[in-house]
Amino acid sequence: MLDRRHFLLAVTALALPACGRMRNIYQVEDVPLPDSVLELSLPELERLFILAAANGRANWQLKRVEPGVLQGDVLSGKRKIRVAVLVNHSHYSIRYIDSELYKATDYEIHKQGNKLLKGLDLDIRRALAAHARAN
């Protein structure tokens, strides 16, 4: 009985640190755009997103794949995350595509990867707010 308890305690002790590092993948779905960007053409709106990502803290590199679809990567050391940013005149979404060295599963990613995803969303929100203030 004591050996079984020691075994369960050891398994629990080893599993807890790993669980603490993984988080549900941060996804951004259908965030409404402010009225101030309604007058922008789709290419101008995409450029606003590309610049927001490039000038943000993590230096995301977004490029236009097709109208309304941007694909981007960020490198953090040897780690990499790829996302798709879907943009139209009423809303935007950020969708996780894949990553390297972030131990991601279909639903979870290392918390540092999530920090980068949240940072991209924040950089975009700040750029949209700055555009709204300027107009």
- Please report the DSSP string for 41-68 in residue order: -HHHHHHHHHHHHHTSSS--EEEEEETT
Q: To which H or E segment does residue 10 belong?
A: helix 2-21
* Entry pTM: 0.82
- Is 24-134 a domain of CATH 1.10.3470? no
- For residue 16, pLDDT beyond 50: no
Q: In this predicted structure, which of 15-19, 78-82, 105-109, 111-115 has the lowest mean pLDDT?
A: 15-19
User: What average pLDDT score do residues 14-27 get?
Assistant: 69
Does the pLDDT at position 54 exceed 70? yes
Which of 17 and 10 is assigned the larger pLDDT? 10
Band of pLDDT at residue 11, cut at 50, 70 and 90: low
Show me where the domains of the chain are located.
24-134
Phi, psi of 120 (to 5 degrees): -60, -45
Beta bridge partners of 96: 83
Contact (CB, 8 A) for 93 and 70:
no
Cross-strand bridge partners of residue 109: 23
